A and B are shown apart, each in its own frame.
Chain A
Amino acid sequence: MPLQTTQAYVLRTYTLAEADKICVFLTRDCGKVRGVAHGARKMKSRFGSALEPLTEVALTYFFKEGRELVSVSTCDITRSSFYIASRSYETASALAYMAELLSEFLPDNEPNERLYRLVMAALAAIEATPEADKLWQLLRYFETWLLRLTGYFPDLAQCAACQTGIEKNVSAFLTVEGSPRCLHCSSGRGAVVDTEMRHVISEIFRAHPHEFATQLIPAKRLQQIGEMNYQIIRHALERDLRSRALLKQLALGQL
């Protein structure tokens, strides 16, 4: 059985039998990988806290051609997100949303170095930014970039129907499928991406997450971008994310 060693983020775990766990990893070299960690549920497990969500680990696993699940051999912590998640219920929910998004959105075994670095940068920015309102700002940053790196984020500068350019100082319109239209082709129908939203989106693509977190963005703009992103996510997945409903309630202060 060939052995693979790589850096990885733990995305989520499921219990398996008495003492084992099925783990979903986002690996740096092999993309999304699922594996079995034997004995991981035992109190004195050799995995310890390494399998907590969004912990970065040095992962070693055995794999067999044609088998969906790899066998996790070692999993040593490089950087834990346990302290960040322990900060508040809001932060724990935000990290759960990020993990679910990655786990559900990415295809298996397709490495994406830029996406791996996005997760690193987003987590570092969340760790460095304890203010609750900035958490939602960084989540919008993360999901917008995730959509872009996976090819789902629309090019708002060009109408997908007539191929003409959409100037920065006018609104774009998104169809239900997340395809951009100019005013003429959309006849004003669809989700409006106004000039202010387009400006925030261009800042997301320009700035490092630490820098973006320092910018003052109105909560309404962030909410609109969140709605737009989720429309694209939902269309791509053809279902809702479980963590999304709770996160929305938290953002609105309903919990």
Chain B
Amino acid sequence: MLDYAEPVTKLIDELKRLPGIGHKSAQRLAFHLLRADRAETARLIEAITEVKERIILCSTCNNITDVDPCRYCTSPGRDQGIILVVEEPFNIVAFEKTREYKGLYHVLHGALSPIRGIGPDDLKIKNLLERLRAGEVREIILATNPNTEGEATANYLSKLMRPLGPRITRIAMGIPVGSDLEYADEVTMHKALANRHEM
């Protein structure tokens, strides 16, 4: 016998499929939606539908966008000679928050991970090479995550792109601002020392 009426069970089952949502959270969300007024649930349904219908990948940089090419690729104020390579679209937001970076982006949609069966063919690498072959790019900044998979991806890309000529750089790794040196581990400290700069 079902614990709840069939539509509620179905909703709980669907919510459970979302990342980070277990049975209890799914149940809580389902009952919240059940109690919410129609207008609220309609807005949610509309938002989900709109995202699925209107959001596409930028044909140049693979960022998620509702216009193609995306606003970063078409912005006249951006330096067309620098491309910052990130793993996921949400990584762009982190760089935009700095208000420092004024170049272009390229989203790989993942990182190389042999243990998860993700190889070069599963990433958006082909159109990055096409952008380089167009000849306007002076520098590529590899901003994949500072972990083993991100490093492997950066290594692979730098080897692949080196013959095409641009300057290839990797974002620095080291101590996070606001933390305490006492708690830094040896790998982080090693990277911080290796990436030190002149003052």
Contacts and interface: CB of A to CB of B under 8 A. Distances in A.
Interface in B60-118: 112-117
A87 B115 CA distance: 17
28 contacts: A17-B20, A18-B20, A44-B178, A46-B183, A48-B184, A48-B185, A52-B147, A52-B148, A53-B148, A76-B185, A80-B186, A83-B187, A85-B151, A86-B151, A87-B155, A89-B112, A89-B152, A92-B148, A93-B152, A95-B148, A96-B115, A97-B115, A242-B114, A242-B117, A243-B115, A245-B119, A246-B114, A247-B114
Interface of B: 19-20, 22, 112-117, 119-120, 147-149, 151-153, 155-156, 159, 176, 178-179, 183-188, 190
Contacts of A97: 114-115
A145 B184 CA distance: 36
Given A17-B20, A86-B155, A89-B152, 9 more contacts: A18-B20, A83-B190, A87-B155, A88-B155, A92-B148, A242-B116, A242-B117, A246-B114, A255-B120
A203 B119 CA distance: 33
B115 A82 contact: no
A89 B115 contact: no
Contacts of A155: none
Contacts of A242: 114-117
Which 4 A-B pairs rank lowest in CB-CB distance, beginning with the nearest? A242-B117, A92-B152, A48-B185, A243-B114
Interface in A207-255: 242-243, 245-247, 249, 255
Contacts of A122: none
B114 A93 contact: yes
Given A52-B147, A52-B148, A88-B155, A44 B176 contact: yes
Contacts of A89: 112, 152-153, 155-156, 159
Interface in A146-203: none
A96 B187 contact: no
A89 B190 CA distance: 21
Q: How large is the interface on A (under 10, 10 to 19, 20 to 34, 35 or more residues)?
A: 35 or more
A12 interface: yes
A102 B5 CA distance: 45
A77 interface: yes
Contacts, number: 88
Nearest to A242: B117
A43 interface: yes
Interface in A57-114: 76-77, 80, 82-83, 85-89, 92-93, 95-97, 99-100
A36 interface: no
Contacts of A100: 114-115
A46 B115 CA distance: 25
A49 interface: yes
B151 A246 contact: no
Given A52-B147, A77-B187, A80-B187, A255 B119 contact: yes
Residue of B114, B152, B156 most packed against chain A (CB within 10 A): B114
B185 A77 contact: yes
B148 A82 contact: yes
Contacts of A255: 119-120, 156
Given A17-B20, A88-B155, A89-B155, A77 B113 contact: no
A193 B52 CA distance: 56
Interface in A29-60: 43-44, 46, 48-50, 52-53
A41 B73 CA distance: 31
Contacts of B159: 88-89
Nearest to B154: A86
A12 B185 contact: no
Nearest to B187: A49
B120 A48 contact: no
A157 B168 CA distance: 54
Contacts of A49: 147, 185, 187-188
Contacts of B153: 89
Nearest to A255: B120
B179 A44 contact: yes
Contacts of A87: 155
